[in-house]
Structure 1
Amino acid sequence: MKVAMQEKSYHELLQKSGGVKVNRCKVFVFGKAETGKSTLKGSLKRGRVAALFQGTSKTSSAEEPHDPTPGVDVGTFHVPGVGEVSLWDFAGQAEYAVTHSMFMDAENTVFIVLYNIMDDSETQEQEVHFWLSFIKACNPNRQPDVILVASHTDKVALSRGRRLATHILALMKAEFKAHLRIADEVILMDCRKTWSEEMSRLKSLLVKIRESLLQNQRDMPLLCAKIIERLPTWCETKVSLNFPVMTWSDYMSGAREIDPLVDEDFVEKSTRFLHHLGEILFFTPATSKPIIVLKPNWLCTDVIGPMMAPLNFPIPRPERTSEDYVTRAEIQRVFQDVADVDLLITLLQEFQLCHSYDGQTFIFPGLLRQTMPPDKWQPTPEPKVIYFGKQVQCADSTDMFSSGFFPRVQTRLMRELENRPLLWRDGAKCVDKDVEGLIKLSPDGRAVNICVRSAQGDKVQCGKMLQQLENIVADVLDECSPGTGTVEKVLSVRALKEHREEFYSYGKEEISKAAAEGGTIVHPTLGFTEQVSDLLCVETPLTRNRPELVQALRHVEPILDRLLSRGILSQEKCDVIRTKETPQDKARELLDIVERKGEGAAREFKAVLEEVNPHAAGMIQDSACGLLGREEEDPLIKNRPELVRDLTSSAVMGGILNHLLSRDILSEEECGIIKANRTAHDKARELLDIVGRKSEAARRAFKEVLEEVSPHLAELV
């Protein structure tokens, strides 16, 4: 649905302004520090004459000091033998990776992943896998083109280098085949050499991919071409040279100098196009109007470079306190050339890189180095203490949380919680009334554990805090790691009470099955028994499937009108809901208000949804087991893991949806909801959930469709 809406927007642009051919693609270069990214970039840009001078130089790369890239180095160049490209050199240090996801969701881009052939084979695999997972995490709606390049091959025997490269290529292509288009060969390079055979092969690959991208590249709206012409003038006349950032109102004024009749929506869509070209940076913060950075390299290198620099990085950077905080005075010292440091700080806060409680000391979660001390979450002697928890886990081996995910979760906690949380590199602790909350990243970074406890046994307040923390995690995942497939689990309450070193959990299917069989569940690893009712925090029809409901309730206006006419909501309550900034927050406020009004209001709410949003109405279940709590023999439940796994093929899924749509088993809206999910796994789960809520006739039709499209799946249902 999202892709279809983007295409519609694009066609509207061309109809209004006409189109201009684009002859440029983007090339992103990734790899850990000192793999040779900047050297490769220099060799790619270098012409034949410059290369001849390079060949006469007596200085070898080994003798030159390492000059690391701060942040991301951005520039548009003519690459000899390739053509015009926007070249982005991403720093390899972990501190800089925190901001990389701000720029990695890019169409018409070739991703080069560089690794050092001199590393041991396990390190090579880990490094390449990390960057491929990172690329996937930031690109949910496309299958990016990737070229693997092995550097320092002048220091290893060619036969050994090829053997290692062939092994890595086979592993990565097999694992990421559904997510990335990885080139069929690894380029083994001495990155210093400009006109080597290997460089020619790399350029040939770039040309091949570039031509394919440009063939499918959409024409640029005419307004974009005119804005590009004006950018140098705007940088001189409309902004400070040391702060090339335009507010939305100033930018709109500039656009109307070009076309006095242009409307705001049209300018916004055109500006997104320029962002994808790499001409400007266009950000839409949740709490303010859009921000336009006229010089990408200013933000990526001149600001992020010093601000996020590691401690040993050879550039001026703000000194940090013993708690890893940064003072306003230090920011002012490093950015003394910026006329208005307050504007710079506001910009950093809008990008959710930092937060301040007093305007003088700033907490940058991405710079925190201390891990959570064990004494910050200790057992309590209170006999009435209760615990609850959820776990959000990466779905499969190709998934990871982007490096910016957890720091942004921490920034959101600071911004949204009433009381100041305690923060560490791998965790956060918060308190509200008599409830404590903990968000802890697993040691491997592949799971987020969210738990709450109340020494006074306050289950209602536990439920509210748990829901608030879950919402923050879900929203940030959507913002900066949208391609990450996840599985939600429920934490073992007994393991939480015993304060075991690890977090232990149950899958939703396990809990549903146990609830249907009497309410007792046995942990498969620890062997002890728990009651399902003890694991679930204040389960009601409106809270049981709340994350799914929030996503389904994207348009609340028709719901508010009907609830107002039925006397369920007052005009004042409707206005409170409308003041929320995002569709998700409007939906959450609506659910909270209806929940507080009791069972009668919940029944009326469900009746309204059956009129205006049957899909959402189907999520409000009265049974104790929720959506998945049907009979054990239900094959859609019993065989769900196998069905989800095998329904991830886009060809299979597309065929199934087309058949179900043509038979009127699924509506256009339901197909759109399925397609709007971030990952193939989530699309499969959504399909099974929707079919599972339908009649037996619909289930039979689903099986018949599977017999046509994928017979082995039909046997599972």
Structure 2
Amino acid sequence: DTHRGLFIQQLRPTQNLQPRIKLKLFGHSGSGKTTLVESLKCGLLRSFFRRRRPRLSSTNSTRFPPSPLASKPAVSVSINNLYPGCENVNVRSRSMMFEPGLTKGMLEVFGAPSHHPHCSADDQSTKAIDIQNAYLNGVGDFSVWEFSGNPVYFCCYDYFAANDPTSIHVIVFSLEEPYEIQLNQVIFWLSFLKSLVPVEEPIAFGGKLKNPLRVVLVATHADIMNIPRPAGGEFGYDKDTSLLKEVRNRFGNDLHISNKLFVLDAGASGSKDMKVLRNHLQEIRSQIVSVCPPMTHLCEKIISTLPSWRKLNGPNQLMSLQQFVYDVQDQLNPLASEVDLRRIAQQLHSAGEINIMQSETVQDVLLLDPRWLCSNVLGKLLSVETPRALHHYRGRYTMEDVQRLVPDSDVEELLHILDAMDICARDLSSGTMVDIPALIKTDNLHRSWTDEEDEVRVYGGVRVVPVEHLTPFPCGIFHKVQVNLCRWIHQQSAEGDADIRLWVNGCKIANRGAELLVLLVNHGQGIEVQVRGLETEKIKCCLLLDSVCSTIENVMATTLPGLLTVKHYLSPQQLREHHEPVMIYQPRDFFRAQTLKETSLTNTMGGYKESFSSIMCFGCHDVYSQASLGMDIHASDLNLLTRRKLSRLLDPPDPMGKDWCLLAMNLGLPDLVAKYNTNNGSPKEFLPSPVHALLREWTSYPESTVGILMSKLRELGRRDAADFLLKASSVFKINLDGNGQEAYASSCNSGTSYNSISSVVSR
């Protein structure tokens, strides 16, 4: 009975608040993240004696390059660094890929060394994710997670960057860069965070999130740029208001961005500016901790037991939630239920003691020691400094190569983990080979088709682009696309008729007589898929293109659930002629042509017309006749992100009545107005989106098409919403019957992970 009483007591909340939360830092290499953390850790006395680290630009010009505007070739220099091989692509095409006023800044968004990032060994830069528990003076205890700005590590960030609304996310950028680059670097990281947060269902009023991530913007190097500062006062940056306004307009609905930009010298730990930042962080920390559940004695007991469990686990720090529950019940408290321990695991995750890993391939897996995977394994495996095997330039390794890179790990278990995280693809047909696309160094291998044309061929292709924020795709997404394509080809090549070649930002696939290029283009802002095959193999080309696009869309949906993408179509005629740049047809082009009852588009660069069927399905009339086009696609196909955007635009009351109420009347659903009118009844904590409810109801009718919705929005005077649909809607949907589906599946089975971490851990 005494023990029972103690066990019950352990489960009761105490007066103790959660001891720490996570502070995550993001920013480009050289922006000053590490220096900022060291300064925040400094006490008043220590700050007087702290020696400033010598400025690296005097000794190492690759760490802090001169401003990209200082020399002529800066644009291609900075593009080369982040996305080598993307500098020659269709910048001049009529693809509207750049937003007005942001073009120059976007091209130079990564002001950085002129050579490949893999080659720029720098022992002072952060490796992967550096994690430390630290007391930040005047702020409190934190688990500090510093994410390296080197793009080689981005492919592992999706499991760690935005998985905890109780964290503070600090985005650091340098004032040494021109304003456009500053803005675009901030947009890149905000888009990075936004893209990782899935849409919550049901969609809330105005598309709002229940717990948006807390974000603080910090501008460094104010001292070097001679930003004016009155004696004893704060730096006064003249563009802080415009930068904040721009990013809050774009991301204010998705992220909780602090309404002050903190301008400082990252090395001046005792300055007034640093004190203002400390006060702000302390304020946010107090707000977050006050809503975190209080500690239990059991949670405190587990924290003190974790070091011994980590030691016992040795080379593999992963554990299933079931195992965690069993161990706690067996060793610490037999009365703790799974519900109790899920809650405690969430609290340990919030404090940075463990990391809960969740995705489609990873369910309820606990990383007992985040440092082991984030700093040690990934830091060594993806580091630019590690000497590698002779064939490293292709990113292909043997199990022994990987074992040499991380000698303290169980390599078999580790590869299961990396495979489930889409960092590597195991080639089971060759037994021991592993593809790690992030480590590829071969550049520009086959960026375009060869010219020999022995037979008549058909060409076609698409470009997948973000709908809203034109910034490079986050999270090394192209590396993950390469991993999934490798996996698919390894499955196909068991039959001996498929082959894949990888290079930096590209891959080439040969599959049963058809050839396919997948390229990262437009400075990392688009993924292009080009297919060619024999005139007699049109349907095979259609299926291959559709299969690879599905693979890309699946990777996007699972890794970046908050990123809305759309397909633009490439001119088949110009692909056939190997013409650069290639004309890009956008959804609006097809919708306009459909409105005019036309079935072709004008290639303004070539001065000729191209038919819908040649652009979208290689002129294959069997496929074209079974497909739905743009205006005729059923509105139930509008995805959640599109619906959420419409909720944002149409939920708030409009002074002229041009909101969801009138739209409901126009769509013949007046009953919904009374049901969802927010003026009725008492205010609730959660208000559902009336637009989401309206679309759900209206799309249950067979005649509800995207075209009708657009015309109703225009009648309502809501051109903004109609134009958004025009930009975001898909224009071609193949409606295959049962037999077609079967043929499709057998000829184009897209790759899925052989392992999920959960299955590995439970084994």
- What TM-score results when the alignment is normalised by the length of structure 1? 0.70
Q: Secondary structure at the match of 2:356?
A: strand
CA distance in 2, matches of 1:715, 1:61: 52
Q: Secondary structure at the match of 2:378?
A: helix
1:628 aligns to 2:610 (yes or no): no
The question of whether the paired residues in 2 share the 8 Å contact of 1:515 and 1:624 is answered with no
The residue number in structure 2 matching 1:348 is 418
Q: How does 1:130-529 map to 2 (within 5 A)?
A: 130-141=188-199, 142=209, 143-159=212-228, 162-163=236-237, 165-166=239-240, 167-217=242-292, 227-237=302-312, 239-240=313-314, 242-247=315-320, 250-257=323-330, 258=332, 260=334, 271=345, 274-284=348-358, 290-310=364-384, 313=385, 321-338=392-409, 340-357=410-427, 358-374=430-446, 377-379=449-451, 381-397=453-469, 400-417=472-489, 418=492, 419-512=498-591, 514=593, 517-529=597-609
CA distance in 2, matches of 1:507, 1:83: 51
**Cα pair distance change 1:206/1:64, threshold 3 Å:** farther
Matched residue type, 1:136: K
CA distance in 1, matches of 2:455, 2:675: 52
The residue number in structure 1 matching 2:171 is 113
For residue 485 of structure 1, report the CA deviation from its aligned partner: 2.1
**Cα pair distance change 1:498/1:262, threshold 3 Å:** farther
Matched residue type, 1:499: H
The residue number in structure 1 matching 2:75 is none
1:663 aligns to 2:671 (yes or no): yes
The question of whether the paired residues in 1 share the 8 Å contact of 2:22 and 2:142 is answered with yes
CA distance in 1, matches of 2:547, 2:565: 18
Q: Secondary structure at the match of 1:353?
A: coil
CA distance in 2, matches of 1:688, 1:644: 15
**For this pair of structures, how many residues does the alignment match?**
593
Matched residue type, 2:174: N
Q: Secondary structure at the match of 1:159?
A: coil
**Cα pair distance change 1:643/1:85, threshold 3 Å:** closer
CA distance in 2, matches of 1:684, 1:448: 34
CA distance in 1, matches of 2:599, 2:53: 74
**Cα pair distance change 1:686/1:40, threshold 3 Å:** farther
CA distance in 2, matches of 1:514, 1:209: 52
Matched residue type, 1:134: F
1:102 aligns to 2:172 (yes or no): no
For residue 529 of structure 1, report the CA deviation from its aligned partner: 0.7
1:605-649, Cα deviation, whole Å (9 max, x unpaired): xxxxxxxxxxxxxxxxx9864462389xx9x9xxxxx99987643
The residue number in structure 2 matching 1:39 is 35
For residue 294 of structure 1, report the CA deviation from its aligned partner: 0.7
The question of whether the paired residues in 1 share the 8 Å contact of 2:237 and 2:263 is answered with no
For residue 286 of structure 1, report the CA deviation from its aligned partner: 5.1
**Cα pair distance change 1:254/1:500, threshold 3 Å:** farther
**Cα pair distance change 1:321/1:189, threshold 3 Å:** same
Percent of aligned pairs sharing the same letter: 24
Matched residue type, 1:334: L
**Cα pair distance change 1:227/1:685, threshold 3 Å:** farther
Greater mean deviation of Cα atoms: 203-212 or 440-449 = 203-212
The residue number in structure 1 matching 2:26 is 30
Greater mean deviation of Cα atoms: 257-266 or 66-75 = 257-266
CA distance in 2, matches of 1:485, 1:279: 33
1:447-500, Cα deviation, whole Å (9 max, x unpaired): 112232222522222232222211211111122222222122333322222222
1:89 aligns to 2:164 (yes or no): no
Q: Secondary structure at the match of 1:70?
A: coil
The question of whether the paired residues in 1 share the 8 Å contact of 2:518 and 2:528 is answered with yes
CA distance in 1, matches of 2:648, 2:606: 32
1:532 aligns to 2:602 (yes or no): no
Q: Secondary structure at the match of 1:345?
A: helix
The residue number in structure 2 matching 1:11 is none
CA-atom RMSD in angstroms: 4.6
Q: Secondary structure at the match of 2:260?
A: coil
The question of whether the paired residues in 2 share the 8 Å contact of 1:280 and 1:295 is answered with yes
CA distance in 1, matches of 2:577, 2:449: 12
CA distance in 2, matches of 1:139, 1:479: 11
CA distance in 2, matches of 1:267, 1:132: 33
The question of whether the paired residues in 2 share the 8 Å contact of 1:402 and 1:480 is answered with no
The question of whether the paired residues in 2 share the 8 Å contact of 1:436 and 1:454 is answered with yes
**Cα pair distance change 1:406/1:630, threshold 3 Å:** closer
CA distance in 2, matches of 1:467, 1:324: 27
Q: Unmatched 5+ residue regions in structure 2?
A: 1-10, 61-122, 200-208, 230-234, 493-497, 637-641, 677-688, 726-763
The question of whether the paired residues in 2 share the 8 Å contact of 1:285 and 1:350 is answered with no
Equivalent residue for 1:127, pick from 180, 185, 197: 185
CA distance in 1, matches of 2:436, 2:362: 20
For residue 69 of structure 1, report the CA deviation from its aligned partner: 1.5
Q: How does 1:63-78 map to 2 (within 5 A)?
A: 67-78=124-135
Equivalent residue for 1:690, pick from 682, 696, 699: 699
For residue 225 of structure 1, report the CA deviation from its aligned partner: 5.9
For residue 408 of structure 1, report the CA deviation from its aligned partner: 0.5
**Cα pair distance change 1:510/1:284, threshold 3 Å:** same
1:365-402, Cα deviation, whole Å (9 max, x unpaired): 11223333347622452554223323211112355421
CA distance in 2, matches of 1:667, 1:411: 48
CA distance in 2, matches of 1:203, 1:48: 12
CA distance in 1, matches of 2:319, 2:694: 43
CA distance in 2, matches of 1:625, 1:445: 30
1:517-547, Cα deviation, whole Å (9 max, x unpaired): 1423223554421122223339999989xxx
Greater mean deviation of Cα atoms: 481-490 or 285-294 = 285-294
The question of whether the paired residues in 1 share the 8 Å contact of 2:569 and 2:584 is answered with yes
Q: Secondary structure at the match of 1:84?
A: strand
CA distance in 1, matches of 2:643, 2:604: 22
For residue 409 of structure 1, report the CA deviation from its aligned partner: 0.7
Matched residue type, 1:133: S
The question of whether the paired residues in 2 share the 8 Å contact of 1:137 and 1:484 is answered with yes
For residue 416 of structure 1, report the CA deviation from its aligned partner: 2.0
Greater mean deviation of Cα atoms: 686-695 or 473-482 = 686-695
- What TM-score results when the alignment is normalised by the length of structure 2? 0.66
Q: Which has the higher contact order (CA 8 A, sep 6+)?
A: 2
1:200-237, Cα deviation, whole Å (9 max, x unpaired): 11012212333343455466799766644532232233
For residue 444 of structure 1, report the CA deviation from its aligned partner: 1.6
The question of whether the paired residues in 1 share the 8 Å contact of 2:393 and 2:442 is answered with no
